[in-house]
Amino acid sequence: MQGWIDTVIAFIERHHAWAPWIMVIFAAAETTAFLSILIPSTAVLVAMGALAATGAIDFLSLWLGASIGALIGSTFSFWLGLRYGSTVLTMRPLSQHPEMVAKARTAFTRYGPVTVFVGHFVTVFRPVVFLMAGMSGMTLTRFAFWNTLGAVAWAFLIPKMGEFGGDILGWLWSYLG
């Protein structure tokens, strides 16, 4: 997997204009049921934030791309839950991770719509929490409110961690060099 991630980062280093679009793709994959289990998107999103620390890429465009992608992926997952109900939980790879489904169901039952916001930040919830929102019959308006708050905050914080880490490394190199 690391080689694949390195290839994506190398591509972005050579083609900066594609960075926001790649953020859309990886953020959508990270917040889409099924894909979030299979594709290691967080590593790419953090690495792109580190590139922003070098000044090679504008952080605002990364944030916007990740926000749009997160909204697309999570809303699609919500629709899957709304359309297919609990049938979707019997499909692979979700059927192979019943503990993930159980944790998300418990959190959703206990905390309701706030779980949609938190689901963006908790890795074990992300693949199923948006499905649960759709399966629960949550209105699109309520989902959109909590989802937008969570998606925009998550899209800021994940690459910002990479940017912050890149700033620290830059400072260390200048201090030690």
Tell me the one-letter amino acid at 65: G
What number of other Cβ atoms are within 10 A of residue 173's Cβ? 9
Residue 154, pLDDT score: 94
Provide the percentage of residues in the chain whose pLDDT is more than 70: 91
Please give the mean pLDDT across all residues of the chain: 85
pLDDT tens-digit readout, 47-102: 888 888 888 889 999 999 999 999 999 999 999 999 987 787 787 777 777 777 77
Residue 13, pLDDT score: 85
At 4, the pLDDT band (50, 70, 90 cuts) reads: confident
Residue 177, pLDDT score: 61
Round to whole Å and give the CA distance between 5 and 77: 24
- Report the pLDDT averaged over residues 143-150: 97
Residue 167, pLDDT score: 66
Torsion of CA 23, 25, 28, 31, to 10 degrees: -80
Instruction: Identify which has the larger pLDDT, 54 or 2.
Output: 54
Each domain of the chain, given as residue ranges in start order, spans: 2-167
- List the Cα angle 128/134/137 in 5-degree steps: 140
Residue 48, pLDDT score: 85
Through-space distance between the first and last CA atoms of the chain, rounded to whole angstroms? 32
Round to whole Å and give the CA distance between 137 and 115: 14
Highest mean pLDDT among 22-36, 48-62, 89-103, 146-160: 146-160
What is the total residue count of the chain?
A: 177
